[in-house]
Amino acid sequence: MQTELLAPAGDLEKLKTAIYFGADAVYCGGPFMHLRTTPTDFTMEALKSGIDYVHERGKKIYITVNSFARNCDFPPLPEYLRELAAMGADGIIVSDIGVIALAAETVPELPVHVSTQASCVNYAAANAYYRMGAKRIVLGRELSLDEIKELRDKTPPELELEAFVHGAMCMAYSGRCLISAFLAGRDSNRGDCAQPCRWKYKLVQNERPDEAFPVYEDETGTTIMSSRDLKTIEFIDEIAKAGVYSFKIEGRMKSPYYVATVVNAYRKAIDHAAPIDELEKELCSASHRDFSTDFYYGKIAHEPAASDGYTQDAVFTAVVLGRENGKLLIEQRNRFFAGDTLEVLSPSFTGASFVVSSMTDEEGSVLDSAPHPQQKLLIDCPYELAPGDILRKRAKNTGIID
């Protein structure tokens, strides 16, 4: 069964990284109703550049229009949808039923993917969305493999199914949550989540409001409402057999290094191009919380909340720009030193590492370390690396989030 690896693209650099490391498609937001209020690089001009870049490489791009719409959103929405269609977007990801109806009326040629925010967890709802014109359902995260298979068996084969396979998960129902709006005045359903489920909490007794008692999970404190991160790489084939066409990686707000690492691992898993235990190690090289298989095997196992904070087993040190005078030209992203052992992250091969025997700046001055972000450097490297390949340094639980 043919499948699609769908990667997050929070800006143009992440979009290019995802495509380079093997994504079949990317999803990103434009300037309107994209469920992320933090700035992204996707103005309409940048979005057009991204669409062209993806299409030139034979890949696809889907645009998120998945905020829950308010009355004020509808007057400008038809023109925005027409612009996306004219640019050549391959589909829009929508959660609001009114927006789905408007899109079918305004841009019937633009495929509609029903967002996971719509909480579609049964075949009756999926069929209803299909009759409204939906091409794809992004399944609610609460479904088991058996439930997905039943939904697949009872829906038209033309209706594509998409499911999340990796990344952060929300403790609320398919991400629909009011905790942020209540505690911080920031509406998660409009893209402004403050992530209060990942805050630390203490217990206060009514008669003693000034006396707060800690609720210990470990020595660092408690994040009792925080979920673990989803990881399915060890049973990705089972998800495909259940009828899922598109494997979705979460992380539009994550770094290019995170996108490269996770996309590369899942690409190789789907293609059976590397041992799973090797790919498991790869996933631990990027920033993550404790992992979980979520509901895929039925009722979720009772697990402690994610331990406080993120961990990663390697640090993003540089991105390869090319070769110059027989040396590898790189751009620094985190400090490293001459004599350090660097690993190669590349779609072309795995398991390569080398010692930085010498390092100079572009003027030829010999350096002992690379302390300046985005400094261009020349180093000796025994491998023929390509622009876009990444160098990293193995370092357990660094606390650096990349």
What is the CATH number for 359? 2.40.30.10
Strands 91-94 and 336-337: unpaired
3-state SS class at 190:
helix
The answer to whether residues 18 and 49 belong to one domain is: yes
Assess contact for 342 and 317: CB atoms under 8 A: yes
Domain with 284 in it: what CATH number?
A: 3.20.20.70
Task: Please give the torsion angle defined by the CA atoms of residues 107, 108, 113 and 114, in that order, rounded to the nearest 10 degrees.
Answer: 90
Per-residue model confidence (pLDDT) at position 218: 56
The answer to whether residues 246 and 130 belong to one domain is: yes
Number of helices and strands (H, E) in the chain? 10, 21
3-state SS class at 181:
helix
Q: Output the six-digit token pair for 251.
A: 């992380």
Helix (H) or strand (E) holding 179: helix 179-184
Q: Is residue 220 part of a domain?
A: no
105: phi then psi, degrees, rounded to nearest 5: -80, -40
Q: Is residue 333 part of a domain?
A: yes
**CA–CA separation, 111 and 133 (whole Å):** 8
**CA–CA separation, 322 and 329 (whole Å):** 5
Helices (H), ranges, 3-70:
12-20, 44-56
The answer to whether residues 37 and 118 belong to one domain is: yes
Place of tokens 């690089």: 41
Q: Is residue 166 part of a domain?
A: yes
3-state SS class at 324:
strand
Per-residue model confidence (pLDDT) at position 97: 95
Per-residue model confidence (pLDDT) at position 243: 98
Last residue of a domain, one of 292, 324, 343: 292
Q: Is residue 199 part of a domain?
A: no
The answer to whether residues 325 and 283 belong to one domain is: no
Q: Is residue 190 part of a domain?
A: no
Dump the DSSP string for 356-388: ---EEETT--B-SEE-STT-EEEE--SS---TT
The answer to whether residues 270 and 387 belong to one domain is: no
Residues spanned by the domain of 349: 314-394
Q: Is residue 219 part of a domain?
A: no
Q: Could you list the pLDDT tens digit for every one of the 402 residues in the chain?
A: 689 999 999 999 999 999 999 999 999 999 888 765 565 558 999 999 999 999 999 999 999 998 889 999 999 999 999 999 999 999 999 999 999 999 999 999 999 999 998 989 999 999 999 999 999 999 988 899 999 999 999 999 999 999 999 998 776 655 566 666 666 777 666 566 777 776 777 777 777 777 776 665 555 555 556 678 899 999 999 999 999 999 999 998 899 999 999 999 999 999 999 999 999 999 999 988 888 888 899 866 555 555 556 788 999 999 999 999 899 999 999 999 999 999 999 999 888 999 999 999 999 999 999 999 999 999 999 999 999 999 999 975 444 545
Please give the DSSP secondary-structure letter assigned to residue 197: G
The answer to whether residues 155 and 286 belong to one domain is: yes
Strands (E) across 95-238 are located at 112-114, 136-138, 160-168, 202-205, 208-214, 229-231
Per-residue model confidence (pLDDT) at position 132: 96
Per-residue model confidence (pLDDT) at position 17: 97
**CA–CA separation, 93 and 25 (whole Å):** 13
Q: Is residue 79 part of a domain?
A: yes
Helices (H), ranges, 88-189:
97-106, 123-131, 145-153, 179-184
Give Dmax (Cα) for the chain: 74
Place of tokens 């990942």: 198
Cβ burial, residue 393 (10 Å; 0-12/13-18/19+): buried
The answer to whether residues 251 and 353 belong to one domain is: no
Count of other CB atoms within 10 angstroms of residue 332 = 21
Per-residue model confidence (pLDDT) at position 397: 45
- Structurally, the chain folds into a number of domains equal to 2
The answer to whether residues 369 and 260 belong to one domain is: no
Last residue of a domain, one of 238, 262, 292: 292
Residue 123's contacts (CB-CB under 8 Å, 6 or more residues apart) are 150, 151, 153, 154, 155
The answer to whether residues 233 and 321 belong to one domain is: no
**CA–CA separation, 99 and 66 (whole Å):** 9
